[in-house]
Amino acid sequence: MTDLTFIDSLRAIVGDRGVVTEATDLEIYNTDWRHIFHGKARCAVLPRNTQEVSAVVRLCASAGVPMVPHGGNTGLSGGATPDDSGAQVVISLARMSAIRNIDPVGETMEVEAGCILQTAQEAAAEAGLLLPISLAAEGSARIGGILGTNAGGTNVLRYGMARTRVLGLEVVTANGEIVSGLRRLRKDNAGYDWKQWFIGTEGTLGIITAAVLQLAPMSRNTVTVLLAVPSPEAALKVMRAARQGIGETLNAFELMSGTALELVERHQGLKVPLAPSEWYVLLEASSSLPSLREAVENLLGEVLEREDATDGVIAESERQESELWALRESITEAESREGRSVKHDVSVPIPAIPAFLREAGAAVAGAFPQARINAFGHAGDGNIHYNLVVSSSTDGSALNALVHDIVVAHGGSISAEHGIGQYRVKELERCRSLPELELARCVKHALDPSGLMNPGKILASLHAEK
């Protein structure tokens, strides 16, 4: 098929405005949010409904054209960026953004893949319910990308990763078939749970077009606390006390290094309302029971008395709550303004966090003395963003290997929540066992035998390297 015929056929499916071919208009699809990954798409296509996604995939499949699904472009691993061959078609779900229905009794929401997370959260809140997926990029991230990457965020401690919210899924498979499993059932053990083949697999097996999400009751009271803590060990003691004292109400337990908040003060114009400290903890609890605040005050008194925390502040208003959260949620932006950074999105068993930080700190100081460590993350889930601000000449791959080896030695994972994308493909092959990689290739072979769905992401090739 000539390029002209191919583009015309796409236009016949999605309409003239649904196909982007101009180089300048393609820029937003050709690079990621950080401008780290760059590619060259043949074109971008924006279907308006699931039937159109199916028709686009059928056309691409029959022409042997590789496809790259694209959501809000806020992923940090290059999963939505095409390669530079000029052959790949980006399929953006942005025009499929409807909230199809909300069931206030069953506490579910059916939503299309292109819906922005914050829009979905607001719709749930209007119905008196909580969509408990929360992340810094929620103003741009889209549901399809969130599920495709099995995103994490700050509420995982209480509500789990994105996959745990999915009751039903609608997907378009690699051959263009629509598979609809938009059931709103809490319990559904009828055979393989095929939804999981598409959640967290970054569009390498098919395209998510809609989902039924499990919502949660909205708590009436929320309490947010910022603590200064002397060390990661002390932070874990605070976590233990919080789990014992107010455990079932704990939404988030975030650890931030002094460096992270220095960056935020420098670049975002925000102010940390506590004395400078090596480490900070931001915790949030919520409950509909009126006694929550008193319980949190008791907890604060207890950890200050034991000197596991040296200072602390409880937000007195919704505004102060947002101000405390802004400190945490601005770290990524502040880091990007500081210069080049090499990111690590790792997880280790929670008790191993202090040892990991100590060992990685020593290893980095030895091998890359110029690198500045910007560590922060979701300590309550064992997920640390171990980012290093470096110069342009630093060998990022060597740095990755150094950090990941320590992670693996602690029984950790080289991606806790950001996924593999194109950024960690080689490291996944290096760090995962052969039988695990072989299983992944089997699934890829079965569901995408031609290898046209987001090629080069997660798995380098369909075959083990000889």
Binding site for ligand 2HG (CB under 6 A): 76, 136, 331-332, 343, 385, 387
**Residue nearest ligand 2HG, Cβ-based:** 332
Q: Which is nearer to ligand 2HG, 136 or 272 (CB)?
A: 136
Distances (CA, A) of 72 to 75, 100, 209, 245, 418: 8, 19, 14, 38, 14
Distance between CA atoms of residues 123 and 130, nearest Å: 9
Q: Which is nearer to ligand 2HG, 147 or 300 (CB)?
A: 147
What is the β-pairing status of strands 67-70 and 43-45? unpaired
What is the β-pairing status of strands 43-45 and 89-92? parallel
CB of 396 to ligand 2HG, least distance (A): 14
CB of 331 to ligand 2HG, least distance (A): 6
Q: Which is nearer to ligand 2HG, 94 or 327 (CB)?
A: 327
Residue of 73, 75, 123, 74 lying closest to 98 (CA atoms): 123
Q: Which is nearer to ligand 2HG, 150 or 287 (CB)?
A: 150
Amino acid at site 278: E
CB of 341 to ligand 2HG, least distance (A): 8
CB of 135 to ligand 2HG, least distance (A): 6
Q: Which is nearer to ligand 2HG, 85 or 164 (CB)?
A: 164
- Which residue is listed with tokens 């919210």? 165
Distance between CA atoms of residues 73 and 285, nearest Å: 30
Q: Which is nearer to ligand 2HG, 13 or 283 (CB)?
A: 283
CB of 34 to ligand 2HG, least distance (A): 9
Structure-block tokens of residue 350: 């929670």
CB of 336 to ligand 2HG, least distance (A): 8
Rg of the chain in Å (alpha carbons): 23
Q: Helix, strand, coil: what percent of the chain each, to 5?
A: 40, 20, 40
